[in-house]
Amino acid sequence: MEIASFLKENRAAWSELEQLLERFRKHPNRIRAEEIDRIVLLYKKASAHLAYMRTYHPQDDITQYLNQLVARAHNVTYKKQFASGHQLSRFFYTYFTALIRARLPFIGIACLLFLLGGLFGFASVMSDPLNLYVILPPQIAENVDPSRLGEGHADQDSAIVSAMIMTNNIKVAMLAFVSGITFGTWTIYLLVYNGLIIGALAAVFWQADKSAAFWAYILPHGVIELTAIFIAGGAGLYMGYRMLVPGRYSRKFQLLLAAKESAQLLLGTLPLFVVAGIIEGYVTPSALPFWAKYGVALLTLLLLLAAYLYGLLRGSHKTSLAFISK
């Protein structure tokens, strides 16, 4: 390829990259998500052009120009973009919110599956208390005693308990996500079964007239924890859906794309599990009155809604979703 032809064909892309880099330098807080995506794309193209010029025209002025341009783009892409607290904020309040909004139907289905499992578990134990031994392993079912709810927590180290709970919940979420590879069937099972357990336990405490104590024990951490599990479950369901319905792309490509998006959804839930673990380790077993624990549950719900609405108002609906498959 002649240099003149090469220059004519690619000069517009280089110029656009220069303008975006200059805008990023002058106004880093005003750069939009779609502009970051465009910088990354143009950076990759310019890198390929640089490799070509270094191979066939290493001493040409264009090679030196591309070397400087690629170095600037590299600095923006791998240093400023990902190391900045602003970019971290952008991920959680803009991209993550937009991704939740795009996958809300699957998150809703995950919630519905959990609730259906809960209703079935509740109805099953209410009709026959012995069904608790069918739903739960016998060694666990035998230790369910409404009169002893919360006993033993005072003797435990809350920090250790909190860390253990966090780790376990993250494992559950990761399993729900990874299970999408089974066409979503195992994800469905996990959601229904976990709902089944909660419903069965709720029936036991209802029959013992201890429902207020039970939900005061569950809801303070449960609102955040279940929200995160529903998001992770929705991610797994979406991945399974794309394996069955690849759309206009090949099944392999669509699976890789869905897996990437689902992994980002899972990543966004990690702070939620941290907060839920802290609440479950310190607030749930505390001697706070029921009304205070219900107040904590309500506060966590309002904060979750506020964070989601803030992300939408901040412009998540304008976020570039070109890389989010439809």
Q: pLDDT digits over 220-264, tens only?
A: 988 998 999 999 899 889 888 888 887 655 667 677 777 777 788
In this prediction, residue 325 carries a pLDDT of: 46
2 pLDDT exceeds 80? no
Concatenate the DSSP letters of all residues of 50-111 into one string: HHHHHHH-TTSHHHHHHHHHHHHHHHIIIIIHHH-HHHHHHIIIIIHHHHHHHTHHHHHHHH
| pLDDT tier for residue 179 given thresholds of 50, 70 and 90 | confident
Task: Mark 231-241 as b/e (b = at least 16 C-beta within 10 Å).
Answer: bbbbbbbbbbb
At residue 163, the pLDDT reads 54
Distance from CA of residue 248 to its chain's centroid? 25
Contact 234/109 with Cβ under 8 angstroms?
yes
DSSP 188-230: HHHHHHHHHHHHHHHHHHHHTT-HHHHHHHHHHHHHHHHHHHH
Tell me which DSSP letter residue 91 carries. Answer: I
